[in-house]
Amino acid sequence: MVRVKICGITNADDARLAVEAGADALGFIFVENTPRFISTDRALSIIRDLPPFLTPVGVFWDHPAGQVKAVVEQCGLRALQFHGDEPPEALTEYRLPVIKTIKVAGAADLSRMDGYRVAAFLLDSPARWSEGQPREPVEWTLARQAASRGLIILSGGLTAENVAEAIRIARPYAVDVNSGVEAEPGRKDPGKVRRFIRHAKGAA
């Protein structure tokens, strides 16, 4: 069964909603001046109440290693996602599982995976982030090809309406969704979250 990460968690209500709906991981974005930024204090208040087998993932974007490690220690993160231009050598010093985001506009972008030694790759669409507008999906056949290079987490343009088809074609280890289950930037829509997780978990 595919794993599901609900990203862009900014409040305790959305975290509880995702957990109750069956999410496997929650993403907390520590990138300032972005629509779903969360402070370390607020993230800690949410993470300390999570159940033991739910993975809190910190999302970073070209942050200094010292800052990342300080956030890990303060918040109790259990995995790290790097969304910027971090080179392979910058990601080797962390003790937690590392996810590297690769922005995929075409087949040539898959070569950027080479050289990284990480736990998984998150394939995302090229846009920097969503202000609430729909994102373009990653080409799902490319995501399937990418699996020869490592575990794939499929993101970018996923919704409750297309996630099952995306999984059947791409066959990812996990799927990641943010704006596709929102009522507005930073606030999840309960119905969309529940439908997304149900359809993802039910995909054959």
Contact 196/159 with Cβ under 8 angstroms?
Answer: yes
85 is catalytic: no
Token pair recorded at residue 159: 């919704």
CB 166 within 8 A of CB 160: no
Q: Is 7 a catalytic residue?
A: yes
37 pairs with which residues across the strands? 29
Give ∠ CA 122-102-20 in degrees, rounded to 5. 20
The answer to whether 167 and 186 have CB atoms below 8 angstroms apart is no
Choose, from 14, 24, 75, 124, the residue flagged as catalytic. 124
Q: Which of 120, 173, 128, 160 is nearest to 36 (CA)?
A: 128
- Of the residues 7, 14, 24, 75, only one is catalytic, namely 7
* Rg for the chain, CA atoms, rounded: 15
Which residues belong to the active site? 7, 124
